[in-house]
Amino acid sequence: MAERYANARALAGRLGWRYRTADDLAVNATAGEVIERLEALDGVDDRRITTAVLGAAPEPQLRLSGLFAEYESLTRDQRVGKSDRQIKVALGPYRRSVASLIDEIGDKVVSEIERADALAFRARWSRRMTEEGLSPKSANKEFNSLRAMFRTIGDAYLGGRANPFVNISFATKKAGGKKRGATVSAQWAYDVVLSPLAIMAGMNDEARLITAILAETGARPSEICGLLPDDIRLDGKVPYIQISPNRIRQLKNEPSERQIPLVGGALPAAAALINAGGIVRYLGNNTGFSNAVNKFMRDHHAFEHGRQSLYSLRHCFEDRLTAVEAPDKIAAALMGHKFHREKYGAGPSLAQKRDWLLRISLMPTSSDRTSGFPVQRVG
């Protein structure tokens, strides 16, 4: 029904008519307009045109309780290639924002939602920010989600009405650009993650092995948790991990696709993962992995201050590259960042990247690629 209505509205517009449903024409149109529309159909033998001009396609009724499902259906092409977990995370804010809106204004028909409803929802968030200490960023995330959903379903369900959530937002403080996260020192990374007496020796093996690879490669947690056994290449002259889109996850952007040599603690950790059959517990579950490590660190008072987190290891990696004055092109190739100059050629080789990584590795690189990581087995 929604598709038939949207097609009829579009065709009416192309024919120079404002689409009005038959009920609307019968109740609100002048006799002159009705006669004009009928005369325009004289000699026309096309049901689609008749439907468009006389409003024979009724306006579909979509309630808020069905908004998320309709949006999810209409935007599936935007999530092609994403894993089930990535899709769940991406759609989460949309599902939650609809539930919040229903809680405020009830399960209304979307075409009947007015600007006043959007303003009432904004007022609800204003109260929550005051009473619960929630941030404008959280509120704006819900406004943005609702605005996107109403924009997507607009042609089929709003009948040309304005998107009620346009320009609904809260001002946020500007801090001179995106704030960089907290870092940790190289000594902290070794003591807490890699040392045989490290605090992380008390955590499950897979989490510690992944964290060791993160510390030595600077990769994002989602990139390591998305590695399949074939992505861990230990047999060549330069062992490395291949970070590419696969069935587990997509990448953040094109520069994120890269090869990172394995040095220091990352090499035995990767070998131990392969010996264990690859990543299992946290495969595609970087959120669960990050939450588990961060909780373990907090419970054991491992962080030096409250702003530090697992992601601080990536900042530490970048700091170590800066300390040895690695060229920008090398740093970008290792971090998965866009290089600020025009790209020519194949970029730094594996050997070149390995040589720079050897200068910043947290522990010596063993020539034995089959040895396991020095991890304490726990039950």
- Do 113 and 230 have their domain in common? no
- Do 30 and 85 have their domain in common? no
- Do 72 and 49 have their domain in common? no
Using a pLDDT cut of 90, give the percent of the chain over it: 56
- Give the pLDDT of residue 378: 33
Residue 340: pLDDT band with limits 50, 70, 90: low
pLDDT digits (tens, 9 = 90+) for 31-85: 999 999 999 999 999 999 999 999 888 877 788 999 999 899 889 888 887 788 8
- 3 state SS for the chain: CHHHHHHHHHHHHHCCCCCCCHHHHHHHCCHHHHHHHHHHCCCCCCHHHHHHHHCCCCCCCCEHHHHHHHHHHHCHHHHCCCCHHHHHHHHHHHHHHHHHHHHHHCCCEHHHCCHHHHHHHHHHHHHHHHHHCCCHHHHHHHHHHHHHHHHHHHHHHCCCCCCCCCCCCCCCCCCCCCCCCCCCCHHHHHHHHHCCCCHHHHCCHHHHHHHHHHHHHCCCHHHHHCCCHHHEECCCCCCEEEECCCCCCCCCCHHHCEEEECCCCHHHHHHHHHHCCCCCCCCCCHHHHHHHHHHHHHHCCCCCCCCCCCCHHHHHHHHHHHHCCCCHHHHHHHHCCCCCCCCCCCCCCHHHHHHHHHHHCCCCCCCCCCCCCCCCCCC
Given a cut of 70, whether residue 368 has pLDDT beyond it is no
Asked if residue 242 belongs to a domain, the reply is yes
- Do 356 and 296 have their domain in common? yes
Given a cut of 90, whether residue 375 has pLDDT beyond it is no
- Do 202 and 335 have their domain in common? yes
- Give the pLDDT of residue 356: 95
Which CATH number goes with the domain that contains 244? 1.10.443.10
Given a cut of 50, whether residue 87 has pLDDT beyond it is yes
* Other CB atoms within 10 A of residue 301 CB: 8
Domain boundary residue, one of 27, 54, 81: 54
Asked if residue 199 belongs to a domain, the reply is yes
- Do 10 and 95 have their domain in common? no
- Do 231 and 313 have their domain in common? yes
Domain boundary residue, one of 13, 34, 54: 54
- Give the pLDDT of residue 371: 53
Contact (CB, 8 A) for 261 and 239: yes
Asked if residue 77 belongs to a domain, the reply is yes
Asked if residue 165 belongs to a domain, the reply is no
Asked if residue 162 belongs to a domain, the reply is no
Task: Say which range, 159-168, 231-240, 315-324, has the weakest mean pLDDT.
Answer: 159-168
Label the pairing between strands 232-233 and 258-261. unpaired
Asked if residue 350 belongs to a domain, the reply is yes
Residue 262: pLDDT band with limits 50, 70, 90: very high
- Do 213 and 352 have their domain in common? yes
Q: Which domain holds residue 44?
A: 2-54
Given a cut of 50, whether residue 310 has pLDDT beyond it is yes
- Do 284 and 354 have their domain in common? yes
Given a cut of 90, whether residue 161 has pLDDT beyond it is no
Residue 181: pLDDT band with limits 50, 70, 90: confident
More confident residue, 179 or 335: 335
- Do 294 and 351 have their domain in common? yes
Asked if residue 178 belongs to a domain, the reply is no
- Do 211 and 352 have their domain in common? yes
- Give the pLDDT of residue 21: 84
Residue 220 CA to residue 255 CA, distance in Å, equals: 13
More confident residue, 161 or 87: 87
Domain boundary residue, one of 157, 173, 201: 157
Mean pLDDT (whole number) for 116-131? 93
Asked if residue 112 belongs to a domain, the reply is yes
Total domains in the fold of the chain: 3
Mean pLDDT (whole number) for 187-194? 92
Using a pLDDT cut of 70, give the percent of the chain over it: 91
Mean pLDDT value across the chain: 87
Residue 255: pLDDT band with limits 50, 70, 90: confident
- Do 38 and 151 have their domain in common? no
Mean pLDDT (whole number) for 290-295? 94
